[in-house]
Structure 1
Amino acid sequence: MPPPGSSVSPLKILLVDDEPLARDRLRTLLGDIAGQLPSEVVGEAGNGLAALAFLREQPVDVVLADIRMPGMDGIELAGHLGSLEQAPAVIFTTAYDNYAVQAFDLNAVDYLLKPVRAQRLLTALQKIPAVPHLDPALLASIGREVRGGGRSHLSCHERGRLLLVPVNEILYLKADLKYVTARTVEREYLLDDALTHLESEFAERFIRLHRAVLVARAALAGFERAAGDDAEAYGWALLRGVPEKLPVSRRQWAPAKALVKNS
């Protein structure tokens, strides 16, 4: 880190915590250590969604993020941050010590237990120049432990912008070459996630219809058999809200139909 009086710009920091008092404390602590490490709080957010909305307009050097927040927690936020063109470093803050944070290599990313202390915050911030991108697999694993399930949103890059797709609005996921298409009632989105990874992460929400298709359980409206000369599918799944039909393989025909019958 540059010494006091250096001409290097201060670290630009975004505070993300659903508790205003926690954000106020961090502001105070950053002021206390300003002589050793100049910084500027350029924004605040109450959860991960608000943080990403801010970062679309203004990049920062560091995000200080609470782990447990409504709407989008800090672990999921960190995963989406890695998709930004100018990805900031992330330091987690938490009131709990049981979220497997010890799994993080502290030379790569740090975490602070609340109540945060000034010297501990300074130590964490001094690691920032060496912080690489966070490990997506590790984030996913810890994220499932924190929230008890998969992400609330998936990332989509479109015309240089990061879009968030709410998982509960996705009707189906369809693989095509190296991309996966997520379909909502309104439109389609191209994702970078692998279909097999999405199937594992959201096993409670989606079922497999075909080697290239996952469908939301709640989106299934019915089925119809394919014509005898139809080589694409053994049958077709009918959906709620959109006119498309999805191919169903012979192997998945009976399990999928049983799901609708028992729902």
Structure 2
Amino acid sequence: MQPYDRRLITHARHPIAAPLHPHSVLDLIERAVGDDDAARPRILDLGCGEGAWLLEALAHFPGARAVGVDIDGAGLERAAEQAEALGVADRLELHAMPAADYRAAEPFDVVLCVGATHALGGLLPTLEAARARLAPGGRALIGDGFWEREPSPAVLEILGESPGAYAGLAGTVDRITGAGWTPVYGHTSTLDEWDDYEWSWTGSLAEWALDHPDHPRAREAAETAAAHRTAWLHGYRGTLGFVTLVLRRTV
């Protein structure tokens, strides 16, 4: 029987688990690593999922070495399979464990956490985790949500969040600079990027349910896709934003 893994299914058409187009991802990686194609950076992704960011970096920088950490074993298995297919498996190390628990013998040139700050307790704890694992002069690449506009009570209920869960874009940057970081580049996801991500997420799951009508979890998959689509289109679309920042330590 076809296995059911919601995370793998929803990201099948959009492996980056955040509202970013592929060209935006590559641009951010180049900004974080630098524009030297011969660079040999050590890159860490905390909450790497299926390793899409690391695979992109390894393919673009032949001298790079990367470590991915996540609790999702199925996602890590897919990352390993993709690494083999791309011929970069010898430069990728994967660890199935909570991101906060990972320790390394030496620091990294780039520390990533995009769309996974919840794994470390939120934005500010994520910045602390990055600081502890970053080499002097290194860069952090952090992606998190922010309020595009003040959320209504209905949106907060849909998301299961409080008004203080996020700040506006300016407030988010203020939190980051107040924690001792300087943004050296940033990308605010467009509505088109959000729509592509959400249509891919809900569409892939809905299609799986249609293609496997006899699966015992087909109804669950269809209902989950419909509920997510409703929450997005009738709720947080245009209210919840996403920003990805390249950061250097101020102090």
Q: TM-score when scaled to structure 1?
A: 0.32
- Report the TM-score, using the length of structure 2 for normalisation: 0.33
Structure of greater relative contact order (alpha carbons < 8 Å, 6+ residues apart) = 2
Structure with the largest fraction of helix: 2
In terms of fraction of residues, the more strand-rich structure is 1
- Which structure: larger Rg? 1
